[in-house]
Amino acid sequence: MRRTGLPALWFSNGVVSTAGTAGFVAIPWFVLEATGSAARVGVVTAAELVGLLLAAALSGPVIDRIGPARIAPACDVAAALCLSAIPVAHASTGLTLWSLTLLTGAFGALREPGQTARRVALPRVVDATGSTVERGAGGMDAAFRAGQLAGAPLAGSALALFDSSGVLWFSAAALLLAALAVLYALWGLPAVDGGERAGLRHEFAAGFGYLRRDRLITWVVVLLDASFMAVFLPTYAARVLHSPVALGVLSGTLGGAALVGNLLFTWLGTRVRRRRALFVLAFALGPVPPHVAMALGAGFPALFGVIAVGGLAAGVINPILATASYERIPVELRGRVLSLTTLVAQMGTPLGVLLGGFAAEGAGLRGTLVCTSLSYAAVLLLPLLGSSWKELDRPEPNEHEVGVTAERRAGAAR
């Protein structure tokens, strides 16, 4: 495989993330332009999220059966067709609510298997190109985060210059570019023999069974949900700082610093063997201090500094957990297990935001921030006291593994 296979995989992941985020902005705007109905915006947006969740729940065995090299580009092309069909149908035959809902739901359902397939293929691309899992995982997370950061402002700027149909066409073209990039990245990747295939029910059971048996991966799944910052930061900016500008600056700082943290792990992660210690440090400096600072009523300058450091540390957390997942999950189960982790994370996001909002309204913002800070501090005890977390550390390579790695890197360089 070409040495450029790994950067191509990163690039395709970033482009898909950009296109998905831009589409998530453009589709509601398109509905508002076409109908002026906020209720229809809610229906269409919900359809995309439902499609995403259904795909996360059901696509794992399909990815394991067919293989990521086929699933990823096929899903990108199909998602591009769904997006481009929206303005085409609107301009020609007209677009009913049910057809728009169907197309949007299909778009959401196709995005998730394509992204999961990239993650499934990553360890094998890393192996074939002579890189390391830490570098591959860090680069994938950085590319995805960069796409999320770029997608919304790009979509907003395009909406100001063009109309929503133009943004949908742009997103569809980006997905086609991502399909070409992932085809290049996975070209020549040998197929994995998963052995005899049982029925889908047994394949689902195998994925769940692995999660039950591997306690470290179970904790990884539990920790891969969204923080409450999506609720607390806007509320704090409105009630304490009294500034929407502060909200924009702090949100941008958090996202940008986390991206820098991703990039640092991509660059330096291979040098870290005691990943458990790095995880504890990153968690202690990442989610905890911003919540404590807001609970103490910090002003904008202090909160800006705390969030900058916290975002930098938080950007290291996901790549560490992803690296452990790639190293531990058997290749024949990766599609199912990684799909389940995505499902839990995606379900935890709205649930966490909902609970955070109700808690801040009912118990008060400061009291909720104190409780959240204590809960995050309690999470720090897990890797310190739990025996399964010792397996988060990078395993010491034996002589055979060192020789094989050197041989693969030499082959990749040729």
Query: pLDDT by residue (tens digit) across 109-122?
Result: 998 899 999 999 99
pLDDT, position 81: 95
Residue 195 pLDDT greater than 60, yes or no: no
* 183/193: higher pLDDT: 183
Q: Is the pLDDT of residue 22 over 80?
A: yes
Q: Could you write out the three-class secondary structure of the chain?
A: CCCCHHHHHHHHHHHHHHHHHHHHHHHHHHHHHHHCCHHHHHHHHHHHHHHHHHHHHHCHHHHHHHCHHHHHHHHHHHHHHHHHHHHHHHHCCCCCHHHHHHHHHHHHHHHHHHHHHHHHHHHHHHHHHCCCHHHHHHHHHHHHHHHHHHHHHHHHHHHHHCCHHHHHHHHHHHHHHHHHHHHHHHCCCCCCCCCCCCCHHHHHHHHHHHHHHCHHHHHHHHHCCCCCHHHHHHHHHHHHHCCHHHHHHHHHHHHHHHHHHHHHHHHHHHHCCCHHHHHHHHHHHCCHHHHHHHHCCCCHHHHHHHHHHHHHHHHHHHHHHHHHHHHHCCHHHHHHHHHHHHHHHHHHHHHHHHHHHHHHHHCCHHHHHHHHHHHHHHHCHHHHHCHHHHHHCCCCCCHHHHHHHHHHHHHHHC
Per-residue pLDDT, 340: 83
Confidence at 1, pLDDT banded by 50, 70, 90: low
Binning pLDDT at 50, 70 and 90, where does residue 325 land?
Answer: confident
Mean per-residue pLDDT for 204-231?
A: 69
pTM for this entry:
0.82
Q: Determine the average pLDDT of the residues in 303-312.
A: 93
pLDDT tens for residues 245-296? 888 888 888 888 989 988 888 888 777 778 888 888 888 888 889 999 999 9
Which pLDDT belongs to residue 85? 93
pLDDT (tens digit per residue) in 47-94 = 888 888 888 888 888 888 888 999 999 999 999 999 999 999 888 877
Domains of the chain: 5-191 (1.20.1250.20), 202-400 (1.20.1250.20)
Query: What is the percentage of the chain residues whose pLDDT exceeds 90?
Result: 23
Cβ–Cβ under 8 Å, residues 75 and 113: yes
Q: How high is the pLDDT of residue 404?
A: 43
pLDDT band at 302 (very low <50, low <70, confident <90, very high): very high
Residue 400: per-residue pLDDT: 42
For residue 235, pLDDT over 60 is answered with yes
